[in-house]
């Protein structure tokens, strides 16, 4: 097996690493100041400016097909790029992308929603989670009832990423209660101007999700994405599009954090010697190094399965679970190594501490990942020996 990158792949990774160091890391202190004042880390204009700067070097639509003006990079390369972006807590993503299920739109919908989203003119959000339907997505209660050639949507969505900024939402609603999730859920493309509103949800981190409220929102039949009653299949396709990318970004965060811990251990002295000479510190460094490397290969293995056309859901659940648990353990050790200074806001450790905690909750909690992994193994859907062989 050859685990080395090609010259081109290495150049792509290194360009992103340089971009992060030059354009994002220098903004960290200002971003921290803004966040503590209740302001957005990067304004929409600043984010757009950075995305256009990256576009000048060809970084636009990382996974968007080349036929739509994107780079069409592999899953493995995308995971490597996410790891590089994870080296800073400044929230940035390359422009030129659109939710995968938007590609299922008809010609009119592609012109109205897909292409403007790829170009950056429009912003979408994925709205399935509800106050009573988180991990149990089949338990959604938002309804859409037929009224002539229109549908009337009523209900509430919660913890919707990007919901405060989006100008249209992909909303999943019950259109046939008797059929339930399998045949009774439909996805609608709903412009904000059609009447829904968003409410900011304050969290312990800097992630600002939204609650979306739909009160008799009238939507034309033409706004159905895909087929009537087939929304749940679209939702599962969206959820499974790249769960490996969440722990991929954590790789970069943990690399930066562990580097900080090593530097501090080598310079901080107690009782006449660097704390790096203390066995307790050495063990924390060693455990973090091993777990970080294990996480890297779990993520890359899941991405490799995606590129190989294999069913990667089991591998992605493993990467998501391990990444969430171990990233939180690593940041906790790094804070411990820094002692009191690590607990202060003078260092960004506490910022990562709050951010990485979310990884164990959103897009599938630890418990849901364990449930999925266990079921796959117990029912023989996945082998203990893994995908190779």
The whole-angstrom separation of Cα 238 and Cα 137 is 13
Closest CA to 65 of 111, 103, 106, 8: 103
Task: Spell out the alpha helix ranges (H) of the chain.
Answer: 7-19, 28-36, 44-55, 75-85, 107-109, 115-119, 181-184, 231-239, 245-267, 279-307, 313-338, 340-343, 349-357, 366-378
Residue 363 appears among annotated catalytic residues: yes
**DSSP state string for 159-227:** EETTTTT-SEEEEEEES-TTTTHHHHEEEEEEEGGGS-EEEE---SSS---EEEEEEEEEEEGGGEESS
Instruction: State phi, psi for 120 to the nearest 5 degrees.
Output: 95, 5
Catalytic residue among 46, 165, 329, 363: 363
Q: How are beta strands 269-270 and 273-274 bridged, if at all?
A: antiparallel
> Is the CB of residue 337 less than 8 Å from the CB of residue 264?
yes
> Is the CB of residue 107 less than 8 Å from the CB of residue 59?
no
The helix-helix angle for 245-267 and 279-307 (nearest 10°) equals: 160
Burial category of 182 from C-beta neighbours within 10 Å (exposed 0-12, middle 13-18, buried 19 and up): exposed
Q: Active-site residues: which are they? A: 363
């Amino acid at each position: 097996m050859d685990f080395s990158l090609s010259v081109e792949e290495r150049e792509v990774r290194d360009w992103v690493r340089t971009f992060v160091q030059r354009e994002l890391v220098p903004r960290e202190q200002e971003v921290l100041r803004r966040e503590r004042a209740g302001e957005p880390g990067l304004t929409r204009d600043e984010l757009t400016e950075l995305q256009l700067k990256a576009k000048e070097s060809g970084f636009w639509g990382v996974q968007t097909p080349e036929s739509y003006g994107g780079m069409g990079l592999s899953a493995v390369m995308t995971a490597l790029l996410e790891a590089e972006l994870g080296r800073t807590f400044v929230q940035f993503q390359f422009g030129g992308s659109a939710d995968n299920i938007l590609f299922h739109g008809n010609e009119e919908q592609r012109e109205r929603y897909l292409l403007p989203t790829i170009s950056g003119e429009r912003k979408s959000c994925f709205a399935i989670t509800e106050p009573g339907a988180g991990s149990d997505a089949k338990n959604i209660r938002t309804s859409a009832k037929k009224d002539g050639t229109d549908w009337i949507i009523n209900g509430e969505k919660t913890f919707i990423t990007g919901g405060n900024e989006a100008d249209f939402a992909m909303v999943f609603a019950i259109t046939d209660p008797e059929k339930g999730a399998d045949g009774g859920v439909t996805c609608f493309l709903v412009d904000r101007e059609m009447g829904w509103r968003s409410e900011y949800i304050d969290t312990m981190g800097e992630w600002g999700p939204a609650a979306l409220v739909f009160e008799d929102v009238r939507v034309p039949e033409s706004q159905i994405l895909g087929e009537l009653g087939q929304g749940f299949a679209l939702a599962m396709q969206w959820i499974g599009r790249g769960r490996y990318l969440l722990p991929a970004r954590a790789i970069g965060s943990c690399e930066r954090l562990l580097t900080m811990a090593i530097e501090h251990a080598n310079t901080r002295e107690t009782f006449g010697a660097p704390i790096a000479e203390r066995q307790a510190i050495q063990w924390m460094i060693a455990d973090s190094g091993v777990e970080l490397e294990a996480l890297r290969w779990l993520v890359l293995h899941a991405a490799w399965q995606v590129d190989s056309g294999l069913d990667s859901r089991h591998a992605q659940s493993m990467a998501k679970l391990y990444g969430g648990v171990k990233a939180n353990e690593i940041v906790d050790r790094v804070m411990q190594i820094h002692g009191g200074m690590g607990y202060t806001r003078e260092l960004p450790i506490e910022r990562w501490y709050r951010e990485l905690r979310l990884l164990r909750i959103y897009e599938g909690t630890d418990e849901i990942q364990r449930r999925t992994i266990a079921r796959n193994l117990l029912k023989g859907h996945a082998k203990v020996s893994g995908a190779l062989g």
